[in-house]
Chains A and B, each alone.
Chain A
Amino acid sequence: MMLPGFPDAAPLAGLAGGVLIGLAAAVMLLGLGRIAGVSGLAAKAVGLGGSGIARSGAWMFVIGLPLGALIVMLASGGIEVSFASPVTLAIAGLVVGIGTRLGSGCTSGHGVCGVSRLSGRSIVATLTFMATGIATVAIMNALGLEVL
C-alpha cells in the first residue's frame, strides 16, 4: 500500500512491524513484569548497569534481536539498508551510548513502553530526542553533510 504524497513510505509494513514490537514489549511486561528497553537490557547484558533483570535474561533478549531480524531477512529474501561510514557510526554509537544511559532509556523504553504508559518522564524524553534528532538531521543537511 502506498501513502498518498509519500511514495517511499511503507505504512503497512511499518504498522505490522510496530505491532510486533508492541507484542514483544507486552511479552516482557506481562511475562516478566519488566520494561523492554533495549539500551537498559544491552547495558545489563555486558555488565554496565541497566535493567534489573537477570543477566542471562538480558543476554537472551539481546541475542533475540538479530535472530528476529534474520527471520525477516530470510523470509523476505533480503533487506535493503544503507549505513554511514565507520567513523560516523563510531561517533554516533558513542553519543547514543552516553545519552541513553544518562537519559535512562531510548526509543523502546521511553518511546514505546513509557509513552504508552503515559509516563511524564518518558513523554518528555521522547519529545526531547525526537526534537534533537530532527534538528541534527536538519543541521547536517544544511551543512551538506551526507552520511548515508
Chain B
Amino acid sequence: MRTALTSIVSGVLFGAGLALGGMTDPARVRGFLDIFGDWDPTLAFVMGGAVIVMAVAWRIVPRLAEPVFAGEFHLPTKSDLTPRLVGGAALFGIGWGIAGLCPGPGIAALVIEPAAAAIFVVGMLAGMAVVRLFEGASS
C-alpha cells in the first residue's frame, strides 16, 4: 500500500513536471536537439531543474538508514561501460530524435494526444518485448 501510494505520487509529480516543462510536445524536444538549426534551450532548463533537486536528494540518502516507506535501498551498482550500454543509449537517442519522444512524455501524452501517443507507446513496448525475447525471460 505504501509502495503503491508513493509510486503514484511520484508518477503524478513526474507527469505534471513533464507537461509543465513542455516535454510532452515533441516539437519542443526536437527543437532542443536541433542545435544546428532553430535551437530551443527549454529542455536544458528542465534537465537542470531536475538534476539540481536530485543532487540534493542523493546527499540525503547516506543519512537515511533505510528509505522512508520501504525496508532498504535498491540502487544500481554496475559501473562497467559496456558496448551494450553505449549501443543501447545510441539507439535510444536515434528514436528520441526521430519523433521527439522519450518514454515518460510518450506515456504522459496519452491524455493530451491519445491516438498518437498510444502508437508510440505500443511501439516502445514492442521494442522492449523484442529485447526480452532475444534475452530469454531470465534477465
Residues of A within 8 A of B (CB): 3, 6, 8-36, 38-39, 42-43, 46, 48-50, 52-54, 56-73, 79-84, 86, 88-104, 106-108, 110-117, 119-121, 124-126, 128-138, 140-141, 147-148
List B contacts of A36 (CB < 8 A). Answer: 10, 14
List A contacts of B28 (CB < 8 A). Answer: 10
List A contacts of B66 (CB < 8 A). Answer: 33
Partner of A65 from the list B85, B107, B132 (CB cut-off 8 Å) is: B107
List B contacts of A84 (CB < 8 A). Answer: 26, 98-100, 116
Give the Cβ gap from A133 to chain B, nearest Cβ, in Å. Answer: 4
Residues B124 and A93 in contact, CB atoms below 8 Å apart: yes
Per-residue A-contact encoding for B50-85, CB less than 8 Å = 1, 0 else: 111111111011001011111011111011110011
Chain B minimum-CB-distance residue to A8: B40
Partner of B123 from the list A71, A94, A115, A120 (CB cut-off 8 Å) is: A94
A-B contact count (CB 8 A): 521
Q: Looking at chain B, what size class is its interface with the partner chain?
A: 35 or more
Residues A113 and B54 in contact, CB atoms below 8 Å apart: yes
23 A–B contacts from the bound complex (CB under 8 Å): A9-B42, A10-B45, A18-B46, A18-B49, A19-B53, A35-B75, A36-B10, A52-B74, A61-B14, A65-B11, A66-B15, A71-B16, A83-B26, A97-B129, A98-B91, A102-B91, A103-B90, A108-B14, A113-B54, A117-B58, A128-B89, A132-B93, A138-B37
Chain B minimum-CB-distance residue to A134: B33
Name 15 extra pairs, CB < 8 A, besides A100-B124, A131-B93: A19-B17, A32-B69, A60-B5, A62-B11, A68-B16, A72-B16, A84-B116, A94-B127, A98-B128, A116-B55, A121-B79, A125-B85, A136-B98, A137-B30, A147-B99
A65-B104, A101-B128 known; A30+B67 contact, CB < 8 A: yes
A32-B6, A42-B125 known; A92+B98 contact, CB < 8 A: yes
CA distance A18 to B19 in the complex (A): 10
Give the Cβ gap from A125 to chain B, nearest Cβ, in Å. Answer: 4
CA distance A120 to B13 in the complex (A): 27
Partner of B20 from the list A17, A121, A137 (CB cut-off 8 Å) is: A17
Give the Cβ gap from B46 to chain A, nearest Cβ, in Å. Answer: 4
Residues A24 and B10 in contact, CB atoms below 8 Å apart: yes
List A contacts of B122 (CB < 8 A). Answer: 90, 93
CA distance A106 to B106 in the complex (A): 12
List A contacts of B40 (CB < 8 A). Answer: 6, 8-9
